[in-house]
Amino acid sequence: MRLCLGLIGALLSFALIASPAAAQSKPDLTVALSSFSTEVLDPVLGGHVVKYYMSLIFDYLVGVTPDGQLSKDSGLATRWEPSADHKRWTFYLRKGVKFHTGEEATSEDVKWSLQRAIGKRSTTGYAGPLRTLIADIETPAPDRVVIVTKEPTLIIPTYLSRSLSTEGMILPKKYIEATGDDAFAQKPVGSGPYKFVEQVTGSHIKLAAVDSHWRIGVPRFKTITFKLVPEETTRIALLRRGEVDITDVGRERVKELERESFPIHFRREEAILTTWWVLPRDGQPTRDKRVREALNLAVDRSEIAQSIFAGYADPAHVPLGLSWAYRDIGFKVTPDMQYPYDPARAKKLLAEAGFASGFPLTMHAYQLPGLPEGKAFAEAMAGYWQKIGVQPKLVPVDYPAFRKNWFDRATPGAFGYYNVANRDWIGTYAFLEKQAYTKSRASDTVNDPEIDAMIEQVMRQTDKDKIGALLRNVYTRLRSEHYGVPVVYLHSPYAASKTLGKWNPGTVMYDFFLDELASSKR
Amino acid sequence: MPLAIIGVFVFAALFANFLSPADPEEQTLRQRFTPPVWDERGSWKHVLGTDRLGRDLLSRIIWGSRVSLTAGVLTVLLASAVGAGVGLVAGYYGGRVDTVLMRVTDATMSFPVILLALILAVTVGPSFVNVVIAIAVILWARYARVIRGQVLTLMGLDFITQARIAGASAARIILRHLLPNTLNTLVVLTTLQVGYVIIVEASLSFLGAGIPPPTPAWGSMISEGRDFVTSAWWVSFFPGLAILLVVLAFNLLGDWLRDTLDPKLRQL
Amino acid sequence: MARFVLTRLLQSLAALAILSVVVFVLARATGDPLHLILPMSASEEDFANARKYLGLDRPYVEQYLSFVGRALTGDFGMSLRARRPVGELIAQRLPNSLRLAAFAMTVSLLLAFPLGVLAAVWKGTGIDRAAQVIAVLGQSLPTFWVAIVLIELVAGRLQWLPAGGIGGLASYVLPGFTLGWFVVAGMMRLLRSGMLEVLDSEYVKLARVKGVVEARVVWVHALKNALIPVVTFAGIYFSILVTTAIVVETVFAWPGLGRLAYEAISSRDFPVIQAVVLTTAAIVAVVNLSVDCVYAFIDPRIRYVR
């Protein structure tokens, strides 16, 4: 009996101790996000990583400006240069940069970090291509690193910069060697303006400012906290109550918040929302170019932009068209590339291709981070295709399930979609090499020998103009062959508190440039 | 009163084809978020307004009554059939059979229903049938518990002993003597559970594991409309009202049935 | 008594053992966690390496045995997604879940008592019906919708209470109320029928004859006796609160077990799925066991019936 009473007593007392109140006052910045992606704070072994919080903790080898230009002022490298044959890239490092442990960051740390990033266990997006490309990393002096490549290349600085993934983040060699990978992931140490304080997985990540940092001077906020708040209504209520300073909001809620005079910052064309089908195309209706064109003509892009995305989207007309790269490569979407909304011609094309009475089409429906409208979008697309006689069947899954089907080629011909994060020209090349190059495991929809040949040429090219010409040709062909159904460019709104002040969330994928916001240098 | 409410919705469910003013899946994006008719921007074309894809809400609610009621009733029937079966067998045979069946029941009852449904949804994809199965797979355990308890009490009574002495087979005793005496409980429990199932289905929709689009089910309608509570309140309000009325009606009916049929029954 | 407790304990362990197999199989049926960990460009070889590193390449039976073996020592392995010991994740979340459940329990008791007693005393009148409707209302609306409307009104518009996250006592009010209201109906039913039974009994009649004031008869004599079934079922309701909080936790960004389970399922994080389900089941078992103890203590006959 005593056993029982003890048990109950323990249960009750355990349950009744309320946790201490968390006070919220300024000098602290709180960011509420609907999704955290992976929460492992190891830039390299943590799975697919977003940079929102990582870029505060770590420095990159090469810095970028908020609009994505490589910068000598915000990275560990103060300058870099290629050898004449473009096979040796020398980086000169900033002196006196210290990790949060107090140790100075040297070329040894850079070498070790890069080797770890392109190692076998790395889970970063571009570890594969870098591993194939890099022959050796030399450290002739504590402030100098030389990266030796097997082929002439232009991509090294960009791949190791803040504009792409996390390969270029510089980690403390000694600390990680002493503590081990797991301990490092749980208590990461970098050299960035904010150091790690605590993390409750699935709830929040808290960072605290260093006294002063070469990137931003004396930080404006003592702490920065990222909170995971999946539900939209809750995030907006938190903003209204002043409990958070920045949050991502649904496009539908923008007008309402603007009326209440909350500043809304847009990341314009943050992603292209594009629909594609799982390979192989053989034996599928989409093998016929006319069917692919018909599927494109059946969709009223401006209606989707206006209605489902509340006007905060613009029609997209080029498959995989990452528009942030267009300026760099000199690509222009001409009026004749724009798909009109023409269901009548779509029907005619289907009939010509021998599908007068349509064909069954499987459309997966799922939500994605940054795309809360996912399922409505899938329903709308199915609705348009139904109107030209295609018989779409919506298959609701979650994204991991679809990704597995797609990678295993388990559902040939079935449709999916993704909001591909926009990026600059080298990022775009990296993306095309993954998604449009037949040999890549992730390639889909395209499978075109001509495009494969052009991508292979880009790999070996060191003349920026020639690369531009090749990429222009890739895009022209992607469009003329209708490889996929590009739908809209999404503008992503972020609402801020009224007292936050000026903030430029920038145009770099998966990054907000909160360090710029926290900077006292401006 | 509860019967009248249920009657109206059952009627709507049965004759959805005739009652519904429009195709519930027909989307007209340009007319999305049309408010109900009494709003100055509303029109008689869409009496209760339209949703985010411009589909007629009234039609979706009418068709939704068919989907949601069928899901509720089907799940409960499935669960009660299995649960009553297990409860009767366990109670009648007792001993090892009872121990094994009751441990399985315990294990089932401690598995959170929503988690199981989620696992099933990501494993085989959400669908009407999977939702029904996922909820029923958990729900039967409750019936088994209650019915077994009743059977244990009944087994001690004279008429069962007499039937045994008269040489009645196990099947006969279970079906002719035990089952009829637990029917009241079954009816009450079943009625109360229909509402619960409809609510659980709605919660599953919220988590992305409910009856999938474009099928109009009330739960997914509320779930889809939840982001528009301020900008287009009617999208989630009307299906919410429908759920409220039906579930309330089933619950009150169940309470009333219990008061009349079996006032001592309280474990529900 | 000791023997009764021991038997019940063994039965609970048996149920947990069955559950451990079921959840092991179910978790693995959900798919492949590697698709969420590895990059798009990962090769077959990368997949094989990662599978080996995470121990997912071993035969299922071996994986199960090592999982059970380590679970018995309190080690649930490493989360595939968070790269942290699962035990640590559970330890972070469990107290939050229990606190919320305790708060919700208090809310529902505070609502159920007056409603149940009023309904019983004025049985069959308008008051009875009104009390029943109020109680059942909480169970008749999807909790996520109640939660969203409450957040929009009370937190967003009126700004009286925090909208989400865990903090001081104020942060418990909205999620606690949403969750608590959901189970009022059941508890109120118990109280009402219990009260009806007791009010009808010789014992209460005797009190009345003796001239005890009616209010005292109702609130002291009758209620005391009607409480017993509530205590029994309080355990079950507590477990319902812990296990169904997943929706409320999602809406209120509450770092509890339900949310952890949801994330684990979405990312196919097998060790976490297993640990959460078994932990919840263990809590349910412990609560039920304690309740049985109390009940057996109050009413010794029960020891032999069960």
Token pair, residue C171, equals: 């942060």
HSE (side-chain half, CA atoms, 13 Å) at C145: 33
| Amino acid occupying residue C280 | T
Give the whole-number percent of chain A exceeding pLDDT 70: 94
pLDDT confidence band for A346 (50 / 70 / 90): very high
Instruction: Please give the full DSSP string across C260-288, using - where no structure is assigned.
Output: HHHHHHHTT-HHHHHHHHHHHHHHHHHHH
> Quick check: C37 and C291 in contact, CB under 8 A?
no
Q: Are C305 and C55 in contact (CB under 8 A)?
A: no
Check pLDDT > 50 for residue C304. no
Structure tokens at B96: 């090892």
Assess whether pLDDT exceeds 50 at residue A335.
yes
- Residue A94: φ, ψ to 5°: -65, 140
All domains in chain C, ordered by first residue: 1-306 (1.10.3720.10)
The whole-angstrom separation of Cα A269 and Cα C168 is 40
Contacts across the B-C interface (CB distance below 8 Å): 149
pLDDT band at residue A496 under the 50/70/90 scheme? very high
Q: Is pLDDT larger for residue C298 or for residue A165?
A: A165
- Helix (H) / strand (E) element for A268: namely strand A264-277
> For residue A25, what pLDDT is reported?
36
Q: What percent of chain C has pLDDT over 90?
A: 6
Burial B76-93 (b: 16+ CB within 10 A, else e): bebbbebbbbbbbbbbbe
Q: Decide if pLDDT at A111 tops 90.
A: yes
For residue C41, give the nearest of A202, A400, A440 by CB distance.
A440
| Range 408-467 of A in CB contact (< 8 A) with C | 434-435, 440-442
Residue with the two structure tokens 């092991």 = C24
Summarised one tens digit per residue, pLDDT across range C1-47 is 677 778 878 888 888 888 888 888 888 888 788 877 776 667 777 78
pLDDT band at A21 (very low <50, low <70, confident <90, very high): very low
How far apart CA B102 and CA C151 sit, in angstroms, is 42
Measuring CA to CA, how many Å separate A384 from each of A46, A381, A391, A485?
Answer: 40, 5, 10, 12
The terminus-to-terminus CA distance of chain B in angstroms comes to: 22
CA gap A89, A151 in Å, rounded? 12
CA closest to C14 among chain B residues: B103
- The predicted-structure confidence for C164-223, as pLDDT tens digits, reads as follows 888 888 889 899 999 998 888 888 888 888 788 777 777 777 777 777 777 777 777 777
With CB atoms and an 8 Å threshold, state whether A4 touches C290. Answer: yes
- CB atoms under 10 Å from CB of C116, counted, come to 28
Residue A201 contacts C where some CB pair is shorter than 8 Å: yes
Q: Does A19 touch chain C (CB under 8 A)?
A: yes
Count other C-beta atoms under 10 Å from residue C128's C-beta.
Answer: 18
Quote the CA–CA distance of A159 and A153 in Å, as a whole number: 11
CA dist A98 → A94, A103, A212 (Å) = 10, 5, 11
In A340-448, where does DSSP find H-type helix? 343-352, 374-387, 399-407, 425-435
In chain C, residues with a C-beta closer than 8 Å to the C-beta of B107 are: 15-16, 18-19, 22, 281
* A490 three-state secondary structure: strand
Q: What is the pLDDT of residue B8?
A: 85
Q: What per-residue confidence (pLDDT) applies to C305?
A: 41
C-beta neighbour count of A181 within 10 angstroms: 16
Average pLDDT of B29-54? 83
Cis peptide before A280 (omega within 30 of 0): yes
Between B81 and C74, residue with greater pLDDT: B81
Tell me the per-residue pLDDT of A153-193, one tens digit each, with 9 for 90 and over: 888 999 999 988 889 999 999 999 999 988 998 899 999 99
Which pLDDT belongs to residue A488?
Answer: 95
DSSP A98: B
Mean pLDDT (chain B, rounded): 85
Contact between A48 and A123 under an 8 Å Cβ cutoff? The reply is yes
Q: Residue A135: is its pLDDT beyond 70?
A: yes
Q: Which residue of A has its CA nearest to B26?
A: A383
pLDDT category, A92, cuts 50, 70, 90? very high
Picking from C16, C23, C141, the nearest residue to B243 by CB comes out as: C141
Rounded (10°) angle between helices B218-225 and B57-93: 130
Q: Centre a 10 Å sphere on the Cβ of residue A302 and count the other Cβ atoms it contains.
A: 13
Give per-residue pLDDT as tens, C77-92: 888 888 888 998 999 8
Identify the structural domains of chain B with CATH numbers, from first to last.
59-266 (1.10.3720.10)
Mean pLDDT of A445-463: 86
DSSP-derived secondary structure letter, B46: B
Between B8 and C213, the higher pLDDT residue: B8
pLDDT tier at A16, thresholds 50, 70, 90: very low
Among B residues 120-149, those touching chain A with beta carbons less than 8 Å apart: 122, 125-126
Among the partner-chain residues A3, A202, A237, the one whose CB lies closest to the CB of C155 is: A237
Residue C153 to residue C155: CA distance in whole angstroms: 6
Q: What is the pLDDT of residues C93-137, one digit of tens each?
A: 889 988 999 899 889 888 988 898 888 888 888 888 898 888 888
Digit-coded pLDDT (tens) for A117-134 = 998 888 887 888 888 899
Give per-residue pLDDT as tens, B127-142: 888 889 888 988 898 8
pLDDT for position A426: 84
Q: Would you state the pLDDT for residue B264?
A: 59
Instruction: Find which of A201, A260, A404, A406 to mutate to test the C interface (most C CBs within 10 Å of its CB).
Output: A201
- pLDDT tens, C224-261? 777 777 776 776 777 677 767 889 999 999 999 888 98
Contact A428, A421 (CB under 8 A): no
Residue B266 has pLDDT above 60, yes or no: no
Q: What pLDDT, on a 0 to 100 scale, did the predictor assign at position C34? A: 80
What interface predicted TM-score (ipTM) does this complex get?
Answer: 0.84
Whether residue B122 and residue A401 make contact (CB cut-off 8 A), yes or no, is yes
* The predicted structure's pLDDT at residue A60: 96
Structure tokens at A456: 């292979």
In the structure, what pLDDT confidence band is assigned to residue C299 with cuts at 50, 70 and 90? low
pLDDT attached to residue C300:
57
For residue C43, give the chain A residue with the closest CA. A441
pLDDT digits (tens, 9 = 90+) for A272-323: 999 988 877 788 898 899 999 999 999 999 999 998 998 999 999 999 999 9
Check residues C221 and B96 and name the one with the higher pLDDT. Answer: B96
**Per-chain mean pLDDT for chain A:** 88
How many CB atoms are closer than 10 A to CB A96? Answer: 8
Residue C163 CA to residue C252 CA, distance in Å, equals 7
Q: How far apart are CA B164 and CA B160, in angstroms?
A: 6
Res. A241: pLDDT tops 80: yes
**DSSP assignment letter at A21:** P
CA-nearest residue to A307 within chain B is: B29
Helix or strand run (H / E) with residue A27:
none
- How many Å apart are CA A455 and CA A464, to the nearest integer? 14
Q: Which residue would you say has higher pLDDT here, A62 or A200?
A: A62
Confidence of residue A507 (pLDDT cuts 50, 70, 90): confident
Q: What is the mean pLDDT of residues C134-148?
A: 88
